[in-house]
Amino acid sequence: MLRFRVLAATCMIALLVAAMWVDLVYLKDSFLLHLAFLGATYLGMREFWTLCRAAGHQTFSTWGTLAGCTLVCIHYFYVHTWGVENGVTDPVAQFRALHQAELLQNGAIALSILGVFVLTARRKDFPHSLGGLGVTSLGLIYLWFLPSFVLKLRHLGEDGLPGGQNWNRFGHHLVVATIVIAKGCDVCAYLCGRWLGKRKAFPLISPGKTVAGVVGGLGGSLALALLLHIPAIGALPAPIFTLPETLIFGLLVGFAGMLGDLSESLLKRSAGVKDAGHLVPGYGGVMDVIDSLVVAGPVAYFLVPAIIMY
């Protein structure tokens, strides 16, 4: 089990690193990251609808999957209206472009949710309508809206603004730091729990989680944050990140990643399954891979401007 887990993690990390490196150096963009996100959204939503049906809920899987993938594509257009990316320098033109993009993105989200109501009425299975509406909307929130903050983080500048100063390199570093800390917390928790864990931390939600695993995971997050703060690596560069701020970032992002893992465990317990899927050896499904980023992404995105500004 551990061997397959390490092998799968190595392959996924290698592919992600290669894609992000091409984005950073050659494309100076987030095209390949969005493309990877599109694939993860499609596969993750297929797993999510399976969980919902296993729990006895009505689903609108075709509409939900199509809406989620469309929102990823619209988001790619959205981040390219933040001025720096499309060469716009006039503040009025930037504001107008951003406003139009926000209208398109928010309109697409509203249409995605309202479309579920239309499909519910057409299906005429009214006793199960509430469940179908709820889980389809949850799928869009859980597998699109919350993880999308990782994409927004990729375009955050050193001044704390979207598309701001040195956004290409700084945003790239932030995404790397968030993924390393969130997934590193998961790996450290797994190893410490496997070797030292006895007392269960969350027996009803995630029976495999132990107190030793929780402590080890958070400790690993702090250690990784310090490693990323080293000037030779510079993923959490000074002077933007002082030593205390680096530790705060590592602790909160690691803790958020742990909450993301627990949130997915809650969904799996509801469906009565151990893994969301079987696509990734040693992990389970795509949802089992990205679960920590669902919560870590939003936390990192709002935490970084707070660190920069205060």
Per-residue pLDDT tens digits for 53-75:
998 888 999 999 999 999 999 99
Please state the φ and ψ torsions of residue 197, each to the nearest 5 degrees: -70, 135
The whole-angstrom separation of Cα 225 and Cα 241 is 10
pLDDT tens column, 192-229: 988 887 888 888 888 888 999 999 999 999 999 999 99
**Interatomic CA distance for residues 79 and 161, integer angstroms:** 12
pLDDT range class, residue 140, cuts 50, 70, 90 = very high
Q: With 80 as the cut, is the pLDDT of residue 131 above it? A: yes
In this prediction, residue 13 carries a pLDDT of 82
Give the model's confidence band at 126: pLDDT under 50 very low, under 70 low, under 90 confident, else very high: confident
**pLDDT category of residue 88 using cuts at 50, 70 and 90:** low
Name the one residue in this structure whose structure tokens are 């949850």. Answer: 138
Going by C-beta distance under 8 Å and a sequence separation of 6 or more, which residues neighbour residue 308? 158, 159, 160, 240
User: For position 145, what pLDDT does the model report?
Assistant: 94
Output the DSSP codes for 167-227.
HHHHHHHHHHHHHHHHHHHHHHHHHHHHHH--SEEETTTEEEEEHHHHHHHHHHHHHHHHH
- Tens of pLDDT, residues 240-274: 999 999 999 999 999 999 999 999 999 999 888 88
pTM of the entire structure? 0.93
